[in-house]
Amino acid sequence: MKTHTLLGWALGALTFAGAGAAFADEQATINLVNQKTNIIENMHSKAQRALVTAAQDRVFPEYFTPGTDKHTLKSRIDNVSLAVQSRFEVDEMCVIDEKGNEHSRIIGKAIAPDADLSTEEASAPFFKLAFALQPKQVAVAPLYVSADTQRWVVAYVTPLAVGTGKPAILHFEHNLDKYRDMVNRGLSGDDRYLLMVTRDGYVFSDSRKDISLNAKGDADDQASYFSNIKSWRLADIDKVSDAVTKAKEGVIRSKAADGKEYVIAYKPVESWTIIAVEKQ
């Protein structure tokens, strides 16, 4: 096995035993994983800019200023969310205060009635993450099952600024199918394929097959839905798994149980890692 590091689009120096010249097929696999990672980075950046821009609307500090007409201002907040949904097709968007109370929520193009707004969002996986940020900062939350859309989603969060305080956060969820479609475009078959995995190594996208993202009852753990790369019958898969957990990038040549050789390149993006696999 030979292991190399990736530096941008270029092949870097070898970091493990077996240093030597890079093979052209390794470079091709590296190029593929870099290309697909750039696509996902651009999608994340676009979503983050959209959320930060929406959070600057003056309706938010007005709404959270004591003594204002909350009813009228909430209608304006709903319209801000609908405008974002129209442009970026978000699954769900909401405003949540520091106690975990929802003040506004849209699902698709529908505004949730006040009676349906949650008072328990403090337990959401993105809640503490969001309030730890500074205004105009955005975090991409680890994947989770949305209680509203009943499927696995990627979520973005940013705090809302009122004076020097952060009384609430703005949050939206995206359908993961968009990300999978973009990464898998142009790929088919078993000889050259792409995976997207979580930081724990669970595969939520595989260009060779469809993986359901729909909720299964109350199950919300990754193991109930996705296979883990540790289950691969591939020599040195522990090295890949360890690199995924530590958000490292690299490329290896390895063999499967049937003796076939593979080149595997991997690169992190946010809390995911994209893995390109090519049979030799």
- What is the C-alpha to C-alpha distance for residues 248 and 266, in angstroms, rounded to an integer? 8
Flag whether pLDDT at 9 surpasses 90: no
CA pair distance 235, 253, nearest whole angstrom: 9
Same domain, 134 and 171: yes
> How many Cβ atoms are within 10 Å of 41's Cβ, its own excluded?
12
Is pLDDT of 143 > 60? Answer: yes
pLDDT exceeds 90 at position 150: yes
Residue 136: what pLDDT?
Answer: 94
Domain holding 151, by residue range, is 46-177
Buried b / exposed e along 241-277 (16+ C-beta atoms within 10 A): bebbeeebbbbbbbeeeeeeebbbbbbbbbebbbbbb
Section 180-184 average pLDDT: 95
Average pLDDT over residues 166-194: 93
Query: Do 220 and 156 fall within a single domain?
Result: no
Mean pLDDT of 185-212: 94
Is residue 252 within 8 Å of residue 236, measured between CB atoms? yes
Between 49 and 258, the more confident residue is 49
If you average pLDDT over residues 103-113, what whole number do you get? 95
Q: Residue 34: what pLDDT?
A: 97
Examine the domain organization and report whether 33 and 62 are in the same domain: no
- For 14-31, what is each residue's pLDDT tens digit? 233 333 334 667 999 999
Q: How many domains does the chain have?
A: 2
Give the per-residue pLDDT at 25: 77
236/38: higher pLDDT: 38
Compute the average pLDDT of residues 43-60: 96
Summarize pLDDT for 123-142 with one digit per residue, the tens.
998 999 999 999 999 999 99
Same domain, 20 and 60: no
Calculate the CA 180 to chain-centre distance: 11
Listed residues 145, 177, 209: the one ending a domain? 177
Could you tell me if 193 and 135 lie in one domain? no
Output the pLDDT for position 260.
83
Residue 14 sits in a domain whose CATH number is 3.30.450.20
Q: What angle do CA 124, 126, 132 make, to 5 degrees?
A: 125
Whether the pLDDT of residue 243 is over 50: the answer is: yes
For residue 49, count other CB atoms closer than 10 A to its CB.
Answer: 12
- Both tokens of residue 196? 């997207």
- What is the DSSP track for the chain? --EEEEETTEEEEE-SSS--PPPHHHHHHHHHHHHHHHHHHHHHHHHHHHHHHHHT-THHHHHTSTTS-HHHHHHHHHHHHHHHHHHH--SEEEEEETTS-EEEEEETTEEPPGGG--S-GGGSTTHHHHHTSPTT--EEEEEEE-TTTSBEEEEEEEEEEETTEEEEEEEEEEEHHHHHHHHHTT--SSSEEEEEEETT-BEEEETTB----B-BTTB-SGGGT--BGGG--BTTHHHHHHHHHTT--EEEEEEBTTS-EEEEEEEEETTEEEEEEEE-
- Give me the chain's average pLDDT, please: 89
Q: Are residues 120 and 107 in the same domain?
A: yes
**CA dihedral for 53, 59, 65, 66, sign (positive or negative):** negative
**Domain match, 169 and 258 both:** no
